[in-house]
Structure 1
Amino acid sequence: MRLDAAQRRAILSGPAGWIASGFGSGLSPYAPGTAGSLAALVPWLALRELPLPAYALALALAFALGVWASNRVVAKLRIEDPGVIVWDEFVGQWIALAPLLAWPAGWPWIVAAFVLFRVFDVCKPWPVSWADRSVGGGFGVMLDDVLAGIYAALVLALALHTF
């Protein structure tokens, strides 16, 4: 669904909209979820320098921030899980990339994490599909991408361990 100019202005009128839209990456007219996942790689380059406990704390805080920001945007637009909200892709992508903290690897593995997350986010295997359909509000917006990120992280960790 494309947003009109008034909706775009409403989203970008406050910090919740900027956060929820992934600093504007969710306003991409083509594949906003993919654009958000790609944009998430930029801050991840700094996040990956954190020790694992700090990384986990950052993910938890980013999740909570996403629930708040998503709730605000959902209420403002009156659309459940609008495509412009991509902060959930940021958090899901960071979860998918988490195994690379334990197994430092190059760009091919970063690309693998990106692709795996996109596949699980789009295909929505259970319980991702359940969360997408059954859990509402900002928590629901965030939850399905967290679950997709966990699936991607597990597959990535298995691949890293195997290869």
Structure 2
Amino acid sequence: MKNLIKWIAVGFGTGLSPVMPGTVGTLLGLPISWGVMHLPSLWCQIGTCIVLVLISVPICGVAEKIIGGKDPGCIVADEYLTLPITVIGLTSPWALLSGFVLHRIFDITKPPPIKQLQHIHGGFGITIDDFLAALIALGLNHLLFRFVPGLS
């Protein structure tokens, strides 16, 4: 069971990439995000994203204990399981690209208040910064698709 949890946490090997493991691992979230975009209602999208975040917390927490260290870079479940948040309520395929880019920007640069969450330990600590990055990306994604002509 530990090997399965670790395998899911490292994104089925994508988090072991020698180059940008977080970004490579986040790619797994694209088909999940596509699926979320096609759910029948906004409430289904929100509910699914909540479940994905709640799944991320224990997976990342257990994997952190198995691998050792605080928030090992190879753990990417937090990235790919929070990415779908960035497209809640959007239908354009371009929202996948902008959501991906915005999520990565905020996860990598960790502007306030994301940076202040880095002291939190365990699976919650690993997931919360990505969750907040995804929420900020969601807000910007909605602004982008509302105010930039031709995107929707």
Would you say same fold, with TM above 0.5?
yes
C-alpha deviation, 1:13, in angstroms? 5.4
Q: Find the aligned partners of 1:99 and 1:127 in 2 and give their Cα distance.
A: 24
Q: Find the aligned partners of 2:67 and 2:93 in 1 and give their Cα distance.
A: 40
Q: Is contact 1:70-1:137 (8 Å) kept?
A: yes
Query: 1:31 maps to what in 2?
Result: 20
Q: Partner letter of residue 137 of structure 2? A: A
Q: TM-score, normalised by structure 1?
A: 0.83
Q: Partner letter of residue 111 of structure 2? A: P
How far does the alpha carbon of each residue in 1:67-120 deviate from its partner, in whole angstroms, 9 at most, with x for none? 1111111111221101111111113311112242xxx2133x321111111111
CA RMSD in angstroms, aligned pairs only:
1.7
Matches within 5 A, 1:2-21: 14-21=3-10
How far does the alpha carbon of each residue in 1:48-75 deviate from its partner, in whole angstroms, 9 at most, with x for none? 2212222222212211211111111111
Identical amino acids, percent of aligned pairs: 33
- Structure 1: give runs of 5+ residues left out of the alignment: 1-11
Q: Find the aligned partners of 1:92 and 1:46 in 2 and give their Cα distance.
A: 13
Q: Is contact 1:91-1:146 (8 Å) kept?
A: no
Query: 2:122 maps to what in 1?
Result: 137
Please give the secondary structure, in 2, of the residue aligned with 1:23.
helix
Deviation >4 Å, runs of 4+: none
Q: Partner letter of residue 93 of structure 2? A: G
Across the two proteins, how many residue pairs are aligned to each other?
147
C-alpha deviation, 1:41, in angstroms? 0.3
Query: 2:100 maps to what in 1?
Result: 114
Query: 1:93 maps to what in 2?
Result: 83
Please give the secondary structure, in 1, of the residue aligned with 2:28.
helix
Q: TM-score, normalised by structure 2?
A: 0.88
Query: Within the alignment, does 1:57 sit opposite 2:42 as a pair?
Result: no
Q: Find the aligned partners of 2:116 and 2:65 in 1 and give their Cα distance.
A: 22
Q: Find the aligned partners of 1:161 and 1:137 in 2 and give their Cα distance.
A: 37
Q: Find the aligned partners of 2:13 and 2:79 in 1 and give their Cα distance.
A: 13
Q: Find the aligned partners of 1:59 and 1:106 in 2 and give their Cα distance.
A: 18
